[in-house]
Structure 1
Amino acid sequence: MGSWLDFSIISKNLTYFFIGSYPHGHLGGVALTLILAVSSCVLSFFGGLILGLLSISHIRAIRYPTIAIINAIRGVPLLMVIFFMYFLLPGVLGHSVPEVNTVIAALTFFTSAYMAQIVRAGIESIPKGQMEAAISTGLHPWQAMFYIILPQGLRNMVPSFVNQFVSLIKDTSLAFIVGVSELTHVATQINNRSMIYPAEIFLFISVIYFVICYAFTSLSRWLERRLSWHKSIG
């Protein structure tokens, strides 16, 4: 029986915690967690941008269904979205889908709804007079949106995007439920092999999650200060 808080199990499996069985097997651990988070964040940025723009459309047939979709997604737990993607995607596509792609699709689908709210709030934070002034110069409304309103709004959205990315990193831990070998799944595998160091193992991955999330939270605060400084001198 191992001694209390014996972290030798961590040092023996350190490489496995960070990259899984790669290069002799599948990539996993911290590396796969970051890949899931970054891929989903990039895709959900564009998904949220599209949904956010559609949710403020003046065409009711577009705006109302989009808002309904966003609210429906936000009202469902992420775990259920992962299950939906895991079981429904193969049937829709007609072939099996790798678990990693399933999780990326679920995280993208789920996070896009939250990104859409950030986009909507960022655009609505810009005074309406700017849109009216841009249109009065001869610009089409969509030109005014993309060249005048959206660039200003995106600057206001950056800190919120980073915070959402931090939340997304923690959400990747739910990928273990469908067998994706990210950090939590790797920790569970090591714990199942040893059976006597659960406190040490899960304390260690908690520290890893904290370090990653704290780094990006600090980045968010730095961006907020930088953007506030540029706005004050602008």
Structure 2
Amino acid sequence: MDLDFQVIIDNFTYFMIGRYPNGPLGGLGLTMYLAVVSCILSFFGGLILGLLSLSRYPVIRYPVNLFINTIRGLPLLMVIFWMYFLLPALMGKTVPESQTVIMGLTVFTSAYMSQIVRAGIMGVPKGQTEAAISTGLKGWQTMLYIILPQGMRNMIPSFVNQFVSLIKDTSLAFIVGVSELTHVGTQVNNRTMSYPTEIFIFIAAVYFVLCFAFTSFSRWLEQRLAWRKSI
């Protein structure tokens, strides 16, 4: 079978940035935008949920854990659909598709990141907490200045891995019409009807390069942190 990647060359700019700057951002640029914004929001969302899931108060801890376990037990596609239909109903106005996807990715990923935060905090020896309290620090001060900085060192590689997963998850945005990389590839394929193999090989290669780069960065980061810890 002969492959002709001329279709990729002819539509390369469209694959990368969509119609931007003469139209909305799309393609790889929109994929990275969705991933980066969702990852930043998920970091703070996961941090808050992780801390609340460890609360000493059952009235806080139980509902938070129920929410986390519920979201983790659902497919991401269903969460995106929820946001797509639920947000406009709650806000009383039309919400851009990209924002609904960002909210879906944020809620879904926050639930997973909360478990990273939880594990990172619980991995800090309890003696650190006891020593901090014995010096007169309050509970929130102990968490903010002693426990979190130490736990964060263990969380960072897992956060990077979650970001890699988030990049791949953005491909589900095409289901609600967001013109990210997979959706652009489908549009080009529907227009040409002649090069589906070449188009989706190219898309797979782009995802692979992105994910491999961040996975390699995660491994380097783990080695770097392990080296610092051994000093």
Give the TM-score, by structure 2 length.
Answer: 0.99
Q: Secondary structure of the residue that 2:55 maps to in structure 1?
A: coil
Q: Which amino acid aligns with 1:7?
A: F
- Compute the RMSD of aligned alpha carbons: 0.7
- What is the match of residue 167 of structure 1? 165
* 1:1-234 alignment, distance < 5 Å: 4-233=2-231
CA deviation vs aligned residue, 1:31-84 (integer Å, no higher than 9, x gap): 000000000000000000000000011111111111110000000000000000
4+ runs of 1 displaced by more than 4 Å?
A: none
> Distance in 2 between the 1:133 and 1:102 partners?
45
Structure 1: gaps of 5 or more residues? none
Q: Which amino acid aligns with 2:204?
A: S
> Distance in 1 between the 2:92 and 2:29 partners?
30
> Distance in 2 between the 1:50 and 1:22 partners?
35
Q: Secondary structure of the residue that 1:196 maps to in structure 2?
A: coil
> Distance in 2 between the 1:5 and 1:89 partners?
44
> Distance in 2 between the 1:95 and 1:186 partners?
27
Q: Secondary structure of the residue that 1:139 maps to in structure 2?
A: coil
Percent of paired sites with the same residue: 72
* Residue 4 of structure 1, CA deviation: 2.9
Give the TM-score, by structure 1 length.
Answer: 0.98
Structure 2: gaps of 5 or more residues? none
* Residue 23 of structure 1, CA deviation: 1.1
* Residue 24 of structure 1, CA deviation: 1.2
Aligned residues: 231
